Structure 1
């Protein structure tokens, strides 16, 4: 399974959270519940600011 993980900042509470770039379900912020990523059938639509790409090992 190829894909990247991204460190995303929540636009509401500024919490930083790791999100998979091809998320198959909605990803909510762990602090405030704002949706950070929505599935699109391929790459997820990320709704926060992507701070960095986290490399998989």
Structure 2
């Protein structure tokens, strides 16, 4: 029996920090808190699945 390949459900996202407008790449299913490298604001927090994003998504890399 042939099984269909599962679609990739995760991706990398380019996000913009709401405080300092720094652009940074984060993983959509981040397992740790992602902070802005410039100002230190939380950009993504883990939820057990997809991360809770607190920044504007600029683009998605699949």
Same fold (TM over 0.5): yes
Match of 2:41 in 1: 34
* Alignment partner of 2:31 out of 14, 24, 29: 24
Deviation at 1:20, TM superposition (A): 0.2
**RMSD, aligned CA:** 1.3
Per-residue CA distance 1:1-57 (angstroms, 9 max, x = gap): 8510000000000000000000000000010000000000000000000001012xx
Q: Scaled by the length of structure 1, what TM-score is found?
A: 0.91
Question: Radius of gyration: which is bigger?
Answer: 2
Question: Is the counterpart of residue 6 in structure 1 residue 13 in structure 2?
Answer: yes
Partner SS state of residue 43, structure 1: coil
Deviating 4+ runs (over 6 angstroms): none
Unaligned runs of 5+ in 1: none
Aligned length in residues: 55
